[in-house]
Amino acid sequence: DGGITQSPKYLFRKEGQNVTLSCEQNLNHDAMYWYRQDPGQGLRLIYYSQIVNDFQKGDIAEGYSVSREKKESFPLTVTSAQKNPTAFYLCASRRLLAGGAHTYNEQFFGPGTRLTVL
Amino acid sequence: KNQVEQSPQSLIILEGKNCTLQCNYTVSPFSNLRWYKQDTGRGPVSLTIMTFSENTKSNGRYTATLDADTKQSSLHITASQLSDSASYICVVSPRNVYNQGGKLIFGQGTELSVKP
């Protein structure tokens, strides 16, 4: 899990509620990401941020919002507009390694938050 | 469309046996391919990473191979242990990914179960 922490580990939401998932990293990484993982599917990108105060939508951003006020923190809010929020949410951060002509884009993942709608 | 497909979807083997997991991708051009191990309820952890010019990469009992011509990769696990039970995810990074925000293309994973 490296230096990325996510909290809480388990989260329960009632219908119509907004909830916020925390992601913190002490790796001094510039970029941070939020993914959603559902059984039998690959990870899908929700939002990402390459620098403070800037972020972009991923492939499934509807019903989610983020902020990036600090380099170390990238919280994700699951709004009531997200119709099927029950899933495992993973946060990741990225470092960039230059390897001669090749550039690695290593992402490190946090331990995840499992969100369940009651 | 950039896609990564893994097979089999799930696999059960006996402790001590070897196994091979497959990954086919259509991402082009691509920068690198990596294999992650994800224990149940945990985040993925990187096992190997290969650029398009590399054919093989080892990490202990894990050996990944890459054939860029056929766009196939495999992960071979030798002398399996109970702790190898996990989901193994193939991930491809499109080239120039830095300019694209670092997006990765994930396979759906192979669920490996090692039985005593």
Model confidence pLDDT, tens digit, residues A18-56: 999 999 999 999 899 999 999 888 899 999 998 899 999
For B89, list phi and psi in degrees, rounded to 5.
-115, 130
* Residues of A (54-83) whose Cβ lies below 8 Å from B: 56, 58
By C-alpha distance, which of A35, A16, A115, A32 is closest to B109? A35
Task: Say yes or no: A7 contacts chain B, CB-CB below 8 A.
Answer: no
Asked if the model's pLDDT at residue A114 lies above 90, the reply is yes
Res. A101 pLDDT band, cuts 50 70 90: very low
Positions in chain B short of pLDDT 50 = none
d(CA B71, CA A52): 36
Partners of residue B102 in chain A, C-beta under 8 Å: 31, 33, 48, 50, 94, 105, 107
Partners of residue A56 in chain B, C-beta under 8 Å: 101
Residue in the structure block whose two tokens are 């086919």: B24
B103/A45 Cβ within 8 A: yes
Residue in the structure block whose two tokens are 């091979």: B20
Asked if the model's pLDDT at residue A105 lies above 70, the reply is no
- Sheet containing B4-7: which strands, arranged edge to edge? B4-7, B19-25, B72-77, B62-67, B56-59
Q: For position A16, what pLDDT does the model report?
A: 86
Residue B33: CB atoms within 10 Å: 27
d(CA B58, CA B74): 12
Which phi-psi region, left, alpha or beta, contains residue B109 (left: φ > 0; alpha: ψ -120 to 50)?
left
Res. A96 pLDDT band, cuts 50 70 90: low
A105 → closest Cβ in B93, B106, B107: B93
Contacts of residue A75, defined as CB under 8 A and 6 or more positions apart, other chains included, come to: A20, A21, A22, A23, A66, A67
B9/A111 Cβ within 8 A: no
* Residues of B (36-95) whose Cβ lies below 8 Å from A: 41-46, 49, 51, 53, 89, 93
Determine the distance in angstroms separating the CA of A88 from the nearest CA of chain B, rounded to an integer.
Answer: 8
Q: For position B100, what pLDDT does the model report?
A: 57
Q: Contact A49/A108 with Cβ under 8 angstroms?
A: no
Q: For position A100, what pLDDT does the model report?
A: 43
Q: For position B113, what pLDDT does the model report?
A: 98
Q: For position B70, what pLDDT does the model report?
A: 93
Contacts of residue A102, defined as CB under 8 A and 6 or more positions apart, other chains included, come to: B31, B32, B51, B53
**Nearest residue in chain A measured CA to CA from B10:** A40
A107 → closest Cβ in B53, B104, B108: B104
By C-alpha distance, which of B73, B44, B76 is closest to B60? B76
Structure tokens at B39: 């224990």
Q: For position A2, what pLDDT does the model report?
A: 52
pLDDT in tens, A57-82: 999 999 999 999 999 999 999 998 88
